[in-house]
Amino acid sequence: MDSSIAPSPVGKRGRNSSVILTDRLCEKRVAKRTKFYDRKCAGLYVSITAVGAATFSFKFTDRQTGKQRTGWLGVYNAETFTVEDARSRVYGLKARGGEALAQTFRDQKANKAKRAKTVAEIIEERIDWMKKPVRKPDGEMRPRLEAWENTATHLRRFLGARLGKTLAGDVTKHDIATLSNDIVAGKFGRPSVSNARHMRKAASGLFNWAAEAGRDYVTASPCINLPKLDPEHPRTRVLSEDEIRTFWHGLDRNDLPYDRRTRLALKFELVTMLRSREVLGAHRDELFDIKGKYPRFDVPLKRVKKRRVIQQPLSDLALEIIKEALTSDDQQFVFESPIYKGQPIHRKAMADALRGTKHETNKNKTKTTGLCELLGLKRFTPHDLRRTAATLAGDLGFDDAAIAKCLDHAVTKKGETIVPTVTGKVYNHSQRMKEKRAVLDGIATELRRIVGEPVAEGLEHGGPRLVA
C-alpha cells in the first residue's frame, strides 16, 4: 500500500498532497496541524492537530457560486468513525448531486451557527420576542407577553447568571435541577421555592421556544422530568373584625406618611374585591351610571389577569370612596399619582404603603415606616384584603359561585353541582351582575357595621340599595 507523502511546492501554503488515508495515518503524531488528502476519494481529507485530534472534511466546488467550499464530516474515532466511514459519507453526498451537496453543507453551517448560541444570547433574543408589540383582542398594540418583565427578570437573574456563557445546546436537565436547588437553598438571596418555580417556568418557555422549527437553537428542552419542588403553602391571612376596624379608621388619620389617594385605594380594594392593578388604573371613562340605580366599574381586559373585561357593581361605600378620590372635574384617573399629574398611582404603591419603603443603599433599614407597623397590625398585603372581603361574604352566607364571580375566578361549582370549565370559558359570558351586586352590597353593609358607620336604611335587611 502506497502511503508516501509528497511535499508541497515551495512558496505555497504548507500542506501535504494526496495519500491513501488509513486509520493508522489518522493516529499519526505531528508537530503542527497537518492535512492529508485521500487519493482514493477526491476531496476527502483529514486534519491532524499537534494534540492528536483528527477530523475529516470534504472539499468541493459550489456550482451556485463557483467557489470552493469545505464541509465538515466528523471526528476520527477508531470504533465509531473511521476512514472507511468518512469515504462512505462522501460517496453518499456525491450521489445526491452538486446542488444538493452544496445545500447540505449550507444547512450544516447554518445549524452549526445556531447551535453555537449561548444561553445569554437566546435569553436576550427571547426577551425581544416577548416584548414586541402585537395587536391584542381589544385592538390595542401591546407586548406579545404582557408580563414579559417578570419573565425577563427570572431569566437574567437566575438562568443567565449561572449558565449565561454555556452553549444553549449543552444545557442539561442536571444543570436546571441544580440551579433550582440552589435557589431553594438561598444561594441567590433569600431561600424561595416560589422563585425556583418561576425560574423553571421561564426556562421551560425559553427552551421550548428555542427548539421551535425555524430557530433550532436546541434539539430539545432540558426542562422535562425535573424533580418535583416542595409545595408552596398558600397564604391564609384574613383580617379580623378588630383589625378591619383599626385599619379602616387608621387610614383616615392625618399624620400618616402616605398620600390620601393611596389610602383610599386600599379601602377600595377591600370594598370591591378587585386586584391592585385593576383598582389603581381606574379611569373616569370606566365608571358607568354613577348617579343611577346600577353603578358599575368596567375594568378593561388589558389590566385583568385573565385578559377578560370585568364589570364590577359598585356599592354605596365604593361610590363614597370614588367621590372623595375625584377632587376635580379635570382629574381623569380616580387614584391619580400625587407626583405625576395625569397618571395613576404606581402599581406597587399600595404594597409599599403597607410594608414601608427601604433605603436604596441599605435594604435592611426602613426608610419610611409601613402602615401595618404604624397602626400596630400584623403584616398583610393588598391581596389579603381580597381574601378578607371574600371571607366576609362567605360568613354572610353567600354562595361560593357568586363570590368567585366577584373575585374574577372561574366558576367550577354551583352548590354541589360541578360546572364544566369550558362552560364559563366558551359558552356562558354572563357577568352575573345581580348576584355580584348582592355580594358587594352585603360586604359594604358588613364593613359599615364593623367600623361603626351608619348603614343606609333598608340595606341591613337586604332591601333596596341607596346610592350614597
Identify which of 412, 407, 408 has the alpha carbon closest to the alpha carbon of residue 306: 408
What is the pTM for the complete model shown? 0.66
Q: What is the residue whose three cell numbers read 350614597?
A: 468
- Count of all residues that appear for the chain in the document: 468
- pLDDT tens digits, 225-275: 899 998 887 788 999 999 999 999 999 999 998 999 999 999 999 999 999
Question: Is residue 313 one of the residues assigned to a domain?
Answer: yes
Question: Do 340 and 442 reside in the same domain of the chain?
Answer: yes
Question: Do 88 and 160 reside in the same domain of the chain?
Answer: no
- pLDDT tens digits, 277-319: 999 999 999 999 999 999 999 999 888 888 888 999 999 999 9
Q: How confident is the model at residue 8 (pLDDT cuts 50, 70, 90)?
A: very low
Question: Do 260 and 349 reside in the same domain of the chain?
Answer: yes
User: How much is the pLDDT for 183?
Assistant: 96
* CA distances from residue 102 to 80, 113, 299 in whole angstroms, order as listed: 25, 17, 58
Of residues 53 and 421, more confidence is placed in 53
Best mean pLDDT range from 1-10, 88-97, 409-418: 88-97
User: How much is the pLDDT for 360?
Assistant: 56
Q: What is the residue whose three cell numbers read 391581596?
A: 383
Distance of CA 175 to the CA centre of its chain: 20
User: How much is the pLDDT for 51?
Assistant: 82
Distance CA 376, CA 465 (A): 35
Question: Do 436 and 289 reside in the same domain of the chain?
Answer: yes
Question: Is residue 309 one of the residues assigned to a domain?
Answer: yes
Q: What is the residue whose three cell numbers read 381589544?
A: 138
Question: Is residue 452 one of the residues assigned to a domain?
Answer: yes
User: How much is the pLDDT for 99?
Assistant: 59
Domain boundary among 210, 232, 251: 210
Inform me whether the pLDDT recorded for 174 exceeds 90. yes
- pLDDT tens digits, 335-373: 999 888 899 999 899 999 999 987 655 555 658 899 999
- pLDDT tens digits, 458-468: 444 343 333 33
**79: domain range?**
18-115
- Count of domains forming the chain: 3
Question: Is residue 224 one of the residues assigned to a domain?
Answer: no
User: How much is the pLDDT for 458?
Assistant: 43
Question: Do 268 and 360 reside in the same domain of the chain?
Answer: yes
Domain containing residue 87: CATH number: 3.30.160.390
Question: Do 262 and 137 reside in the same domain of the chain?
Answer: no
User: How much is the pLDDT for 102?
Assistant: 59
pLDDT (mean) for 431-453 = 91
pLDDT (mean) for 80-97 = 87
- pLDDT tens digits, 377-396: 999 999 999 999 999 999 99
Question: Do 345 and 418 reside in the same domain of the chain?
Answer: yes
Question: Is residue 276 one of the residues assigned to a domain?
Answer: yes
Question: Do 188 and 51 reside in the same domain of the chain?
Answer: no
DSSP states along 380-401: --HHHHHHHHHHHHHHTT--HH
pLDDT (mean) for 115-144 = 90
Partners of 417 in beta bridges: 414
